[in-house]
């Protein structure tokens, strides 16, 4: 009788482990969407798909980019097409 209980417990542990292995971790884009409701994979202008082209982690480079952005005037809004 104990052998059946042990085998059931072992099977349950194996099933749990198997399910955990099947669950893929969330990407950083999925985490931002889930936590902050930020959709960073879609272009806000056209709805097209965006992709990551660089991952910048050096604080000096980040500061240089931010300083450059602050020195620039804000981008102009895109004109919308008018139907004839």
- As a whole number of Å, the end-to-end CA separation of the chain is 83
Give mean pLDDT, residues 46-71: 89
Give the separation between CA 6 and CA 13, rounded to whole angstroms.
Answer: 11
Flag whether pLDDT at 61 surpasses 90.
yes
Flag whether pLDDT at 75 surpasses 90.
no
pLDDT value at residue 84: 65
Q: Which of 50, 45, 46 is nearest to 29 (CA)?
A: 50
More confident residue, 39 or 76: 39
5-57: per-residue pLDDT in tens?
Answer: 555 556 666 666 655 566 778 888 888 889 988 888 888 889 899 888 888 99
């Amino acid at each position: 009788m104990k052998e059946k209980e042990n085998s059931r417990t072992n099977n349950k542990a194996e099933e749990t482990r198997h399910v955990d292995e099947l669950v893929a971790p969330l990407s950083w884009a999925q985490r931002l969407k889930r936590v902050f409701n930020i959709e960073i994979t879609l272009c806000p202008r056209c709805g097209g798909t965006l992709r990551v082209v660089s991952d910048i982690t050096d604080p000096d480079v980040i500061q240089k980019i931010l300083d450059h952005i602050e020195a620039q005037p804000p981008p102009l809004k895109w004109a919308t097409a008018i139907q004839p």
